[in-house]
Amino acid sequence: MARSFLNIIWQTALLWLVFRLGGYLVGALHLALPGNVAGMLIMFALLATGAVKPRYIEVASGFLLKHFAFFFIPISVGLMSFGSLMRQSGLALLVILAASAAIGAAVTGMSVQLLQKRREP
Amino acid sequence: MNNLPLFALFVVLTLGAYLATRWLFLAYRHPLLNPVFLSTVALIAFLQATGLTLEEYRPAKDVMTYLLGPATVALALPLYHNRRVLKSHALPVLSGVIAGSLTTMAAALLAGRVMGLDGGVLLSLGPKSVTVPIAVEISRLTGGEASLTAAFVVATGMIGSIMGPSLLSLCRVKSPVARGLALGTVSHGQGTAVALLESETAGAMGGVAMAIAAVFTALVAPYYLPLFLR
């Protein structure tokens, strides 16, 4: 128990380091990319080249991804500050967001599945 | 941090709401029991009822979201485990995400115009499907309002992750690759979080879609969005 806790700590530190590296590179190179996504791509490259072995980050990654949704709760609470806009045109915005998300998801989901099937009949 | 008890209260409440709603969701698996949605509603209701402000919640929020960056980096691991799928499906993946990104932007702006929203709100709506840090940058570039865009991004994440899974099932999209990509394309990290609850492969694809959609949207939005404002 104590050991796996320590594992989570130092593995998280490694993830954090790559996250900061991503942010730094994006800033230095003026890339149109958020630092966390850049960090994800860097970590993928490290894994693909074998510089980082999956077991170096396995425990912490498993834990963080299992609770990935948690991080969006404090962020979503921020919606509170748009109360007046919501009262004014909240329904219209809700319809727009829902309809556009639905169409986008259907287009991606169906086209990917279709192209997949065509490849492996 | 000048108000430690309040800080502790917010952390305990947020964690408690998350654990309770997560348990509820896993027990019943109903999309409306989305943990982010229910917890957010509960916390906002609490703040409203007690008269506490968002400003007072912020220190707790900053600490609790501190690990979101490292967690996004952690998505590289399921991505790595799925590298063969990714390589053999490079074309469907890329074209699917691009098609979805273009469609959702067009649909949002056209619907917004029909409903008579003004130009500033429309431009803030444009990048709503990509992850917050990049959506805010795009919004600044195209003339939208950053804080409004951030709110749309979060709302889209919530809406997409609540109705996305049922909608995809309705469209008979069964492949975990396609489901993960669709959720990540329209609902970034929150869609990815729901995809991760479905399967590791779907979660990994959510991360892929989020990355491709972010890069692609950043590249085309400044030229694409104005087409719908004329």
* pLDDT tens-place string over residues B53-96: 999 999 999 999 889 889 989 989 988 988 888 888 899 999 99
CB atoms inside a 10 Å sphere around CB B98? 18
According to DSSP, residue B174 is labeled -
Structural domain for B179, as ranges: 74-228
Q: Which residues of B touch A101 (CB under 8 A)?
A: 104, 129, 156, 159-160, 163-164, 186-187
Residues B88 and B195 in one domain: yes
Closest A-chain CA to B16:
A70
Residues B59 and B113 in one domain: no
Residues B37 and B88 in one domain: no
Q: Which residue has the tokens 């906002």?
A: B44
Which of the two residues, B85 and B186, has the higher pLDDT score?
B186
**A79 within 8 A of B36, measured Cβ to Cβ:** no
Residues contacting B20, CB < 8 A, separation 6+: none
Count of structural domains, chain B = 2
Residues B62 and B106 in one domain: no
**Using CA atoms, how far apart are residues A32 and A45, in angstroms rounded to an integer?**
19
Indicate whether B164 pLDDT > 60: yes
Q: Which residues of A touch B210 (CB under 8 A)?
A: 37
* pLDDT tens-place string over residues A66-101: 898 899 899 889 888 888 888 888 899 999 999 999
So what's the pLDDT on residue A51?
Answer: 95
Residues B106 and B176 in one domain: yes
Residues B157 and B191 in one domain: yes
Q: Which residues of A touch B171 (CB under 8 A)?
A: 106, 109-110
**B175/A116 Cβ within 8 A:** yes
The beta-carbon neighbor of A69 closest among B36, B65, B77 is B36
**Using CA atoms, how far apart are residues B139 and B118, in angstroms rounded to an integer?**
15
Indicate whether A1 pLDDT > 70: no
**Using CA atoms, how far apart are residues A10 and A13, in angstroms rounded to an integer?**
5
* pLDDT tens-place string over residues B111-132: 999 998 888 889 999 999 998 8
**B189/A73 Cβ within 8 A:** no
For every residue of B48-64, DSSP letters joined together read HHHT--HHHHHHHHHHH
A14 to chain B, closest Cα gap in Å = 8
So what's the pLDDT on residue B2?
Answer: 64
Residues B147 and B224 in one domain: yes
Domain boundaries of chain A, sorted by first residue: 1-66, 82-121
Residues B59 and B80 in one domain: no
Residues B96 and B19 in one domain: no
* pLDDT tens-place string over residues B2-56: 688 999 999 999 999 999 999 999 898 888 888 888 999 999 999 999 999 999 9
Residues B103 and B216 in one domain: yes
Using a CB–CB cutoff of 8 Å, tell me whether B129 touches chain A: yes
Indicate whether A33 pLDDT > 80: no
So what's the pLDDT on residue B51?
Answer: 93
Indicate whether A121 pLDDT > 70: no
